[in-house]
Chain A
Amino acid sequence: MRRLRVSEHVPSILVASLGAAFGVSLLQLAGVMSSVIVADDVTGSSGMVRVMLAAVAIVFIAIAIYVSAIVTANTFATIIAGRTRTIALLRLIGSSAATQRRAVAWEGLQVGVVGAVVGTVTGTVVSLGVVAVGRATDFLPALDYGFAPPVIALPVVAVVLTTWLASWIGSRRVLTVSPIQATGASQEESLEQASGHRARNVVAAVLVVTGLGALVLAVVVGLVSPFGVLIGVVGGLLSFSGFILGAQAVMPRVLRWVGRAFGSSAPARLAAQNAVRYPERSTRTTIGLVIGVTLITMFAVAVESFQGLMRRLQEGQPGGQEQTDQVLVIIVAVFSILTGFSALIAAVGMVNNLSLGVLQRTRELGLLRALGFTARQVRRMILIESASLTVAAVLVGLVLGTFYGWVGAQSLLGSATAGGGVLPPAVPVPLLVAVALAAAVLTLVASVTPSRRATRIAPVAALAVT
């Protein structure tokens, strides 16, 4: 039993605790919202609103577990990839692959437990804070809100189990590390190429097609019942899982396309190449952000559509509209904060991945400096690489999010529109502005540490690494 190397796992613990906080907060605040709406039955339609909220809460639970699982899995896979040398060295001196794998999974379990505890506390504090602010500003009535419904155990246990499982899945690569890799210049791509992708792509395609089928069904059912959204959840999860599984076929293409937009100077060309150099790793780096942006966009588009519909339904009753708008403001605020959490998880993953990538390229950066890359050119190269990843993720996320948001709104509200009509997809402009700003900030933040690290290396020291 090895002791947990905390410094190496800080990003993992952060991701796990953010995941747990996300789930806990989500459930606590969904409970709060239910209480508010039940207590404040002004529109006389609280029954229907409650059903919708219940449906939405189920969606949130599913997504919370899903996001933390995927991001934790990706973070762990990246850590394992960076450890190839160490693992190979331990194999070389006689440790079996199975032992190594169990050791990694044991670390994963510890990371999961620590992350879940930290996350539960943090999430509860965030919920309490939101409610306190809500009360102070009179958005929320002074009700007795329960902050420890048994259901919050769900994301906590899920984070522990998924982190454990993710470390086990991530450690599959341990089995492919040969002892000889400790002695030579081991390259990660040989590992990445080692796993065949054909079967995986087939599964991905099946999931996407099935999911899209369910989404179409959801829209059709939604025309007569708000429960269409539950079919939509299944369809969304299936198709999005399929997309994530097969993202390796999509993201490198988008990255290549985005990379071309940064011009043809030597730093820009190398940056574009670096961004797609290990397709699997780039996909892993961007997919977290794609998930985050997709979620934010999805909820923003869904809420905007909902708001538009409510306004139209209540055109004749000015009083009721004000009430609904107030509730919607709360919903939008809560949704934005909670989906912002998942984007934050993704951002942590991206910063982590980019840093690791630069660290593993020390020798190459030394070569570039020797051949005449100025420190500024190196910084620009890393900044463009960071920007390529962010822009590609954001673009894909916006497209997917708009689609899912529209399907969600349509399947939930289709039956409420006059004559079973079709809602137009509504993309809020503030969302686009906020996403663009956040992407710019993330690009800069993600490139700061690797840039400093890369330019601080003396070319001689980098060249001495063998």
Chain B
Amino acid sequence: MDTTQHALVARVESLGKSYGSAENTVAALRGVSLGIRRGEFTAIMGPSGSGKSTLMHIMAGLDSATSGRVWLADTEITDLADDALTILRRRRVGFVFQAFNLVPTLDVEGNILLPFELDGRRVSAEERAWIDQLVGSLGLDARLRHRPHELSGGQQQRVAIARALATRPDLVFADEPTGNLDSRTGREVLTLLATASREYGQSIAMVTHDPVAASYADRIVFLADGAVVRDLGKSSAEEISSLMLAMERS
């Protein structure tokens, strides 16, 4: 694999995270070291309680680690204060959550432009063109003035994707992005994410427990009990399923 082309866009080293008091500690992550390669669509898989969501939250600057170090591109974010992390999320990270992605009081355009407005700046002509292109390719042209409650679940996820891509962040985090969708709409959303990665070179890290969703990714990292247990290239849903089952049995 060509390492210069696949420079790391995010990296964690010996990452540990535990909850609870001293005598009653629950470890969510036990020494995870992982690099997310630039331009790739990476799936982070694992059963419930494997620590995959915690890992994503820490990599995205939403939560802090108990031990270990975290980088986003060249910035070490391990010990950044809340405000610095907030601005980092605003400018350099995009999010697509399972549900409740959109601010209900803003229309579609307002939601897409929110990260820019939080920065208190106008969208440049070049950014405007990019957003228009995104809106067009996601089929949201006719929906710009609609409020989230007027959209279907799939449309809401498209808006979330448009918003996540709009700032051209270093990394887009997707947390079970198809968890609330029917399988057909879910496949559409996954195709959109894969396309964004392939055509625009967008780095994406997706947390999921669904083998079908993971099969759209270029790389699949398996987590179990707070540690990375497998790291695969592109795989079919069947291969991923049988691997998951094998992990359950062991």
Contacts and interface: CB of A to CB of B under 8 A. Distances in A.
A71 B103 CA distance: 31
B87 interface: yes
Query: What size tier do the contact residues of chain A reach?
Result: 20 to 34
Query: Which of A277, A368, A369, A374 has most chain B Cβ within 10 Å?
Result: A374
Contacts of A377: 118
B62 A460 contact: yes
A463 B63 CA distance: 12
B57 interface: yes
B89 A367 contact: no
Contacts of A375: 82-83, 86
B89 A370 contact: yes
B115 A368 contact: no
Interface in A253-307: 265-266, 269-270, 273-274, 277
B120 A265 contact: yes
A186 to B, nearest CB: 13
A463 B101 CA distance: 10
Given A270-B103, A370-B95, A460 B83 contact: no
A373 interface: yes
A265 B120 CA distance: 7
B187 interface: no
Nearest to A461: B63
A324 B213 CA distance: 84
Contacts of A269: 106, 110, 117
A463 B99 CA distance: 9
Query: Which of B86, B89, B106, B115 has most chain A Cβ within 10 Å?
Result: B86
Contacts, number: 69
B103 A369 contact: no
A374 B86 contact: yes
A266 B118 contact: yes
B17 to A, nearest CB: 11
A372 B91 contact: yes
A460 B89 CA distance: 13
Interface in A353-375: 363-364, 367-375
A266 B63 contact: no
Given A363-B100, A367-B97, A458-B63, A372 B118 contact: yes
Contacts of A376: 83
A371 B90 contact: yes
A373 B118 contact: yes
5 contacts: A273-B105, A277-B105, A375-B86, A377-B118, A460-B63
